[in-house]
Structure 1
């Protein structure tokens, strides 16, 4: 018979911290391998309702149901990429106008700097020439690294699709493996954890899609009001890039400013773009995220921001995207294990009641 060893609080705390640090270290040194696996796991959970419907209701064989799910998933991604590339092709026809308006805008900036900072246009051009020479020297190296990065993305995407397919096929196999790891009396807790993880991840990804659609619509509407030509394309790009915390919206803003030069290079138009982006971000951060995202994953803002920063430092953009669902999974596990329940409460988004210390007074013996 296995006896349970009761450890003091400081020993439990040390074991928990060592375990978390060990998992974080393993993830950092194997991030190139684990990142596609974790992304595939999220997409497999998202596709699981479709797979279950095809396999149990329509009576498709397991492999055929998984293939149909992957076709639906790939078709959705390819459809978005085709639409974007179709719109970008039209935008490329306005390259001459973009170049002309960009030159006009640069001249206005030169004049503004000369009038307000008393730096002549010649001195400004000399500085820009020196910066341009340095960038030309590093251009070939940057081009080579960009090509390698694109090839890595394509390879990771292919591997991720294969992993997603395998997760769907071996779903029951993985469940049986987890059941064999723990005692039978804890199988009900394991079943509850797995079901809650599925619900939480599904809610999170669906919420992200809803947020992306709302941000795309609001941005497209704002750009249409100020007269931007390709407002639908730019709104969609903003909604997609908004999925990447912090960095995405900055990249979307730069792309929108660049695309606005197809119409006119006036400063008022660029100022209008910045105002639209700021207003959409205020709506997103103060209404959409608390209402749609935080209510689904039940992770407080402090832990979310820390997780996103740590995820970005560990695995870049993929780590930032994975941070919230991984934290949600950890919270579900912590909430259902008695010794880890305080950590789950710390990560949660609960509104605490007023706390009063209960001190047990000892009787002083004379």
Structure 2
């Protein structure tokens, strides 16, 4: 007869802290391997219906269906970046005009500093020269860090499609592996968890793609109305950066303002840019996110912000993007294990507007899977 050992609360708490620290250290040290794998896993879940359609409806061989699915995905992503690169090249052709406008803004700033702080231009130049000398070492290290980050990004661009292909190719093998980890009586609950994760991840990523298109179009139209040059490019960049919750739209606004300074000497356009970004953000936060994105993952705002910060520390921009879907997967698992259900509830969003919808959800099975 099996005996259950009961540990005191402080022992359980210490064990939980040890596990959290160990997992965090593992993720941080192995981010170069884990982050591309997680990105590939999410995209593989998204592309799985496409591969199934080619295999079952179009009667393609399993390997060919997986390969063609990945090729179409790479072409789609490559098309977006090709469009951006064309726009960037067009912007680079106006470099002389940009440099002239930047110098004009620089001289205007010097005049403002002189009138406000009574520092003539020679004194300002001396201060800037000292600051430049003191930051030379940090600038060198920043350049080296940027080069390493760029090389890692290029490596991931090669590895992620390969990982996606292999995950799609061996998806049934991985599912059988998971079934072998648990007792047969828990296979039904395992199937429920996997099915829920698949639906949640697919719905979330599709929601992000819809949000990307709408935000890009709204921002581009708004920037065109105020007479901003390269409005379409800046709109697409805003839509891409907006995929990083809470932080991306702020970065996009700063980039747009900097781009406006290089395109014109009129500072009044900055007000228009701020208005456009605020209006688009209000529409995004109050309509798009609740209807298209948040309803798919049910993660509350506090957990989302903390998860994004932790993801950024562990994996940079990729970690920020992965934070929400990974938390959604964790919540699905927690919700279906009785001993972990309180933690799933902590991550969830149980506002009154969702109460009636939650009451209609079917009850979860009570059996707890073995560890």
- Distance in structure 2 (CA, Å) of the matches to 1:173 and 1:277: 46
Pair 1:120–1:348, CA change in 2 (3 A): same
8 A contact 1:97–1:261 mirrored in 2: no
Distance 1:4 1:305 in 2: 41
Aligned to 1:96: 96
Change (3 A) 1:180 1:304: same
Q: CA RMSD in A?
A: 2.2
C-alpha separation between the residues in 1 aligned to 2:2 and 2:58? 48
Q: Distance in 1 between matches of 2:17 and 2:140?
A: 45
Task: Report the CA distance between 1:305 and its aligned residue.
Answer: 0.9
| C-alpha separation in 1, matches of 2:323 and 2:218 | 26
1:7 and 2:6 equivalent?
A: yes
Structure 1 length-normalised TM: 0.89
Task: Write the distance in 1 (CA, Å) between the matches of 2:286 and 2:111.
Answer: 38
Matches within 5 A, 1:260-275: 260-261=260-261, 263-275=263-275
Deviation at 1:351, TM superposition (A): 2.8
2:159 pairs with 1:146: no
**1:270 Cα deviation after fit:** 2.3
Q: Matched residues in 2 for 1:137 and 1:193: separation?
A: 51
| Deviation string, structure 1 residues 57-83 (Cα, Å, up to 9, x no partner) | 212111101111111110011101111
- Give the distance between the partners of 1:16 and 1:60, measured in 2 at CA: 47
Q: What is the deviation of 1:213? A: 1.3
Output the CA distance in 1 between the equivalents of 2:119 and 2:101: 23
Pair 1:179–1:4, CA change in 2 (3 A): farther
Alignment of 1:213-292 (within 5 A): 213-261=213-261, 263-292=263-292
In the other structure, the counterpart of 2:360 is none
Residues 102 and 261, structure 1, Cα contact 8 Å, conserved in 2 = yes
Aligned residues of 2:307 and 2:327 also touching (Cα < 8 A)? yes
Pair 1:123-2:123 in alignment: yes
CA 1:149/1:336 → structure 2, altered by over 3 Å: closer, same or farther? same
Partner Cα separation in structure 2 for residue 137 and residue 279 of structure 1 = 41
C-alpha distance in 2, partners of 1:303/1:138?
A: 34
Partner of 2:192: 192
1:295 aligns with 2:295: yes
Deviation track 1:96-117 (CA, whole Å, cap 9, x = no partner) reads: 1111111111222222222233
Matches within 5 A, 1:58-207: 58-135=58-135, 139-207=139-207
Equivalent position of 2:314 in the other structure: 314
User: Distance in 2 between the 1:152 and 1:30 partners?
Assistant: 13
Q: What CA distance in whole angstroms lies between the structure 2 residues aligned with 1:206 and 1:21?
A: 33
Residue 364 of structure 1 corresponds to: none
Q: Distance in 2 between matches of 1:335 and 1:129?
A: 58
After TM superposition, give the deviation of residue 269 of structure 1 in Å.
1.3
Distance change >3 Å, CA 192–CA 16, structure 1 → 2: farther
Deviation at 1:193, TM superposition (A): 0.2
Q: Is residue 308–residue 320 contact of structure 2 (8 Å, CA) maintained in 1? A: yes
Which residue of structure 1 aligns with residue 369 of structure 2?
Answer: none
Change (3 A) 1:282 1:110: farther
- Work out the CA distance in 2 between the residues paired with 1:246 and 1:19: 29
Match of 1:358 in 2: none
Structure 1: any 5+ residue segments left out of the alignment?
A: 354-366
Q: What is the distance in 2 between the residues matched to 1:50 and 1:241?
A: 26
Structure 1's 286 and 124: CA in aligned 2 closer, same or farther, altered over 3 A?
farther
**TM-superposed deviation, 1:325:** 0.8
Instruction: Give the aligned partner of residue 359 of structure 1.
Output: none
When the two structures are superposed, what TM-score results if normalisation uses the length of structure 2?
Answer: 0.88
Check the 8 A contact 1:105/1:267 in 2, yes or no. Answer: no
Contact 1:229-1:262 within 8 A present in 2 as well? no
**Greater Cα shift, 306-315 or 121-130:** 121-130
Could you tell me how far 1:122 is from its partner in structure 2? 2.6
Question: Measured at CA, do residues 119 and 289 of structure 1 come closer, stay the same or move farther in structure 2, by a change above 3 Å?
Answer: farther
How many residue pairs match? The answer is 352
Unaligned runs of 5+ in 2: 356-371
What does the per-residue CA deviation read over 1:260-294, in whole Å, with 9 as the maximum and x for residues that have no partner?
A: 24542111112322332233223323332233221
